[in-house]
Structure 1
Amino acid sequence: MSCSRDHFLEHDSTLARLRKVVAGILSPGQDGHAVPPSLPSPARRRPTLPAIVPPQNPTTRKSFASIASASSSSSSVGTAADPRLSYVAALAAGDLSQKFLALDTSDSDRTRAAIRDDIGHGRWTLRVARAEHIRNRYSNVLPWDHNRIRLRVPSQCNDYINASPIVLHAPGLTPHSYIATQGPTRATVPHFWQMLAAETSGDTAVIVMLTPTHEGHREKCAKYWTESSTLGTMYSTTGFQCKLTLCSMHHDAEANCAVRTFTLDTLDGHIKTVYHLLFDSWGDFATPVPEHEAHLAHLCALAHRLNTSASPLIVHCSAGVGRTGTFVTIDFLLSCINNSTPVSSPILEDDPFLVSSAQVLYPCTTIPTSADDPIFDTVAMLRTQRMLMVQNITQYAFIYKILKAALLEP
């Protein structure tokens, strides 16, 4: 099949814009939608998929080695440089715009396949989500049919909520699980609490909210919680009813977030403690304001410290993909950096959620010789589970920045 000249011009133009964003010439607002949309993936039992390989040129490995060597001599912590810092610095010095374009191109292919599939027999389908108009905050950010949370309702009732189960697994470590969801609309607030009650185990649940309720004059997320510490607030929908009561609220300075503690009583004998972490200094299509970037690592640590039941972390922003995907990627890879558990479990090549390259971030004494990119591989894995995770090149480059900062910590 031949490609037209216009096709190549469009590709070159998109790549040029991405490179300008990485270089800081364009702001996120100018280029927030410069690239094609992305898409999610198979559910918990998904078929084997072809790997998305980051683009390389003949000099990739040679330049990687030279950059890593230079970073090793110039970036030191105390008296010795962390070899992982040299590795991540070398990756960050590469052409991130090419990598991000590869991710978005794969997403666009999946989206087009889903739109063309009217029957719903293909690998990528959006038939259920596209039929929903009231329950989606945005019409172009949807969960895949095979990887969506289903509300536990009677068979004749609507089980749809715009939320996706996310699993990431690094070799030898306990899998990380999340629920990535849109910021509730006023109509879907009861569905949100119904999902939380059903999808989290034990007596605790943790919500990480990464958006203010409004930006400018536009609602980004409905205020789905109560401020009542006496009577509480009732929420109900088909087959579900609960009472939410505020127990306490304080500001955590290290994580720079408001921490609210609620009791969620489902009126059937089950009472759950819910921790709500509101980190609202992160604008849509952007990254946190510079003075709050360092708080992200503390936010991750706080969420896991409070999540005593080891349930999936419920993470959302407005659409549940950009800031949400960036946070999930950072949280997962920081756990690899901070890993102190000996790696003893065998690597299962057929594990559908395995990010095998994540092990290059484990504590080590020598510079890894692999040219694998765990950031690229993690985002690629996320996008097979929910579309548009890490929504633009600015957020993608930000992940490298945060990992380098974490490795600079003594």
Structure 2
Amino acid sequence: MDHLSSRFRRIKKQSSPASPATTLAGSPPDRSPLESKLNTGGQREQPAVVPPTLTIPTNQPPSNPPKSPFRRGFTFRHSNKRARSPAPPQQVPPVPAIVSQDGIVEHEKPTTIKDEDKNGQGITKEKPKPKMPAFLNLSESEIESKFIDLTWAERMRLQDSFNNPSPTYEFARVDSMEVKRLDRYANIQPWANNRVKLQVPDGQQDYINASPIVLRSPFNPESKPPHRYIAMQGPKSITTGHVWRMVVEQLQSPAVIVMLTETLESGMEKCFQYFPKVAGEEWDIGEHDEFGDGFRAQLSCVSVEDHANGAIEVRKLNIHADDREEDMIVWHLLYRKWPDFGVPALEDIDSFLELMRLSREKNAHEDNPRIIHCSAGVGRSGTFIALEHLMRELESGDLDRFGPKQDEPEDDIIYNTVNRLREQRRSMVQADIQYAFIYQVLRKLWLEKHGLAVEDIQEPAAKRLEVEHNPPDPFFEDPE
């Protein structure tokens, strides 16, 4: 990455009065740009090679975040509505209290083990400390560099799709003006050959902005079932019926929809209110017979419950399709604590993990895809999917098969997972703060699993780096 070296410059560490910020585990008062980004929701994470000790800021107004170097270069323009640029930074801390995917709180592991000496006498000795996988021990600049690599890999896929216009090409683009009115954002579309197709009569438009996602275990793909999702863009009013038609056609009862955005954020519509909101409310779906095949359904809200102190709204919905013998149950889980353009706050991480648990628990079975959506269906949705998938590898113990000496990026399963997501849907895990958040959460989960603290991982601290400020790039606009 020699071309990146000119974009970084060393910062001479200066002494300064203690910050008024509340400090966790003795973290230093002066912070690097990426550390500040994760602690405020729009700036950057601590650069230490060791898993960073993190600082929660006070209510001081955050400064404008520096732009990453990769946000320069593209000059394409569209007249269609485009996703907004990132909103002002939110207060975001690092990572979570730890609950496993089965809801079991991890306790500190024993630090001693029983053994025998050479005479067969029983002895107790200190348990050897496990080695943290190297990809969890990256510095902020290395994580930033990998995100830039992911961005360029996607640019190359897009460039190849221009040079190879064949409709059978793996990364062929959806190239139809007819469907653009159905998209919430003109620059966020599924790959043409990896999209959900509605089961409509020949000659009718089968498009919906949704992509099937399959992630297999990087360690035991034969013994572990793949994770299956449908990543969907937040519907518009004209696509509400399309969503419920997709649910009836693609899912089994009981089905699950995870919604990671409010319908309105910062005064803008992020997702149309596509579901009945209160118990007893009923809707008719397909009454205008848009596709000319007589598809009709009745959608009703059976109940509404709050979970995790109001962070999660759980709706039980019922769908009766006229051409189906049995009704479908759909669990709609609305998560209300993920800030626009950010990541969940420290005090909200438990509810975020609870959301994951509920979505698995209420699904019919593992082969039944869960619909995950936010506004564009790439940023928050991709982060949720990637993190849940990788947590399974951590909890099963398979992640510890990675020793401390693997190469990059081939042995970085975070990088590989996000790249695989982007091969299935463009721009997944869209923002650099979301990408860094996955590393940060998994570091914390790994330490908690092994009963270790940051200081137990003896590695030299990385030198502090500052990312050069760049002018805004109007092409790279983050809808999440």
TM-score of the superposed pair, with normalisation by structure 1: 0.74
Which residue does the alignment assign to 1:4? none
SS of alignment partner, residue 336 of structure 1: helix
- Cα distance between partner residues in 2 of 1:303 and 1:323: 16
**Secondary structure at the counterpart of residue 24 of structure 1:** helix
Distance between the aligned counterparts of 1:129 and 1:83, measured in 2?
Answer: 53
Matched position secondary structure for 2:180? coil
> Are the structure 2 counterparts of residues 24 and 118 from structure 1 closer, same or farther at C-alpha, using a change threshold of 3 Å?
same
RMSD: 3.0
Closer, same or farther in 2 for the Cα pair 1:13/1:160, shift >3 Å? farther
Match of 2:415 in 1: 376
Aligned residue number for residue 465 of structure 2: none
CA contact (8 A) 2:132 2:404 kept: no
What CA distance in whole angstroms lies between the structure 1 residues aligned with 2:176 and 2:351?
Answer: 35
Matched, 1:285 2:297: no
User: What are the superposed Cα offsets for residues 130-165 of structure 1, whole Å, 9 maximum, x if unpaired?
Assistant: 652211110101100110000010011000000000
- Choose from 232, 247, 266 the match for 1:196: 247
Name the counterpart of 1:248: 303
Task: Find the partner of 1:339 among 389, 396, 416.
Answer: 396
Q: Does 1:386 align with 2:443?
A: no
Deviation at 1:289, TM superposition (A): 2.5
- The aligned residue for residue 151 of structure 2 is 104
Give 3-state SS (helix, strand or coil) of 2:306's partner.
strand
**Are residues 158 and 36 of structure 1, via their aligned partners in 2, closer, same or farther at CA, if it must alter by over 3 Å?**
farther
Q: Which of the pair is proportionally richer in helix?
A: 1
1:2-401 equivalences under 5 Å are: 22-24=34-36, 27=42, 30=65, 35=70, 77-80=108-111, 83=130, 87=134, 89-91=136-138, 95-118=142-165, 120=167, 122-128=169-175, 131-170=178-217, 171=220, 172-201=223-252, 203-230=253-280, 232-236=282-286, 237-238=290-291, 239=293, 240-253=295-308, 256-268=311-323, 269-310=325-366, 311-339=368-396, 359-361=398-400, 367=403, 370-371=406-407, 372-401=411-440
Distance 1:404 1:139, change over 3 A: same
Pair 1:168–1:158, CA change in 2 (3 A): same
Q: Which residue of 1 aligns with 2:121?
A: none
Q: 1:83 and 1:273, CA in 2 relative to 1: closer, same or farther beyond 3 A?
A: farther
Q: Does structure 2 conserve the Cα–Cα contact (< 8 Å) formed by 1:33 and 1:392?
A: no
For 2:36, what is the secondary structure of its paired residue? coil
Question: Tell me, what secondary structure is at the counterpart of 1:95?
Answer: helix
The one-letter amino acid paired with 2:296 is Q
- 1:86 is displaced (CA, Å) by 5.8
C-alpha deviations, 1:357-385, integer Å up to 9, x for none? xx425xx7x95654421111100110100
**Within 1, Cα distance between the matches of 2:238 and 2:276?**
16
CA contact (8 A) 1:262 1:275 kept: yes
Q: C-alpha distance in 1, partners of 2:227/2:68?
A: 29
Range moving further from structure 2, 180-189 or 117-126: 117-126
Taking structure 1 as reference, are residues 279 and 229 closer, same or farther at Cα in structure 2, changes over 3 Å only?
closer
Give the direction of change, closer, same or farther, for the CA distance of 1:86–1:146 in structure 2 (3 Å limit): closer
Query: Which letter does structure 2 place at the counterpart of 1:22?
Result: L
The list of structure 1 runs, each at least 4 consecutive aligned residues, that deviate by more than 3 angstroms after superposition, is 11-16, 28-37, 76-89, 91-94, 115-123, 127-131, 228-231, 366-371
TM-superposed CA distance for 1:291, in Å, is 1.6
Post-superposition offset of 1:405: 2.8
Larger Rg: 2
Structure 1 vs Structure 2: percent identity of aligned residues? 31
Q: Offset at 1:90?
A: 1.5
Q: Which 10-residue stretch deviates more, 92-101 or 105-114? A: 92-101
- Where does the alignment leave 5 or more consecutive residues of structure 2 unmatched? 10-30, 44-63, 73-106, 112-127, 452-480
Distance in 2 (CA, whole Å) between partners of 1:219 and 1:198 is 27
1:349 maps to what in 2? none
Tell me if the contact between 1:208 and 1:276 (Cα under 8 Å) persists in the aligned partners. yes
Aligned counterparts of 2:152 and 2:303: Cα–Cα separation in 1? 46
Q: Report whether the alignment pairs 1:403 with 2:415.
A: no
Shift of 1:30: 4.1
3-state DSSP of counterpart to 2:147: helix
Q: What code does the residue aligned with 1:217 have?
A: G
C-alpha distance in 1, partners of 2:440/2:434? 10
My pick for the range that moved more, 277-286 or 172-181, is 277-286
Is the Cα–Cα contact under 8 Å of residues 14 and 35 in structure 1 kept in the other structure?
no
Amino acid at match of 2:34: V
Structure 1: which amino acid aligns with 2:147?
A: F
Of 119-128 and 101-110, the range deviating more from structure 2: 119-128
**Could you list the runs of 5+ residues in structure 1 that have no partner in the other structure?**
1-7, 38-75, 341-358
Match for 1:280: what amino acid? Answer: R
How far apart in 2 are the matches of 1:181 and 1:243? 22
Query: Does the CA-based 8 Å contact 1:251-1:258 persist in structure 2?
Result: yes
Task: Give, in whole Å, the separation in 1 of the partners of 2:232 and 2:441.
Answer: 23
| Pair 165,255 (structure 1): closer, same or farther in 2 beyond 3 Å | farther
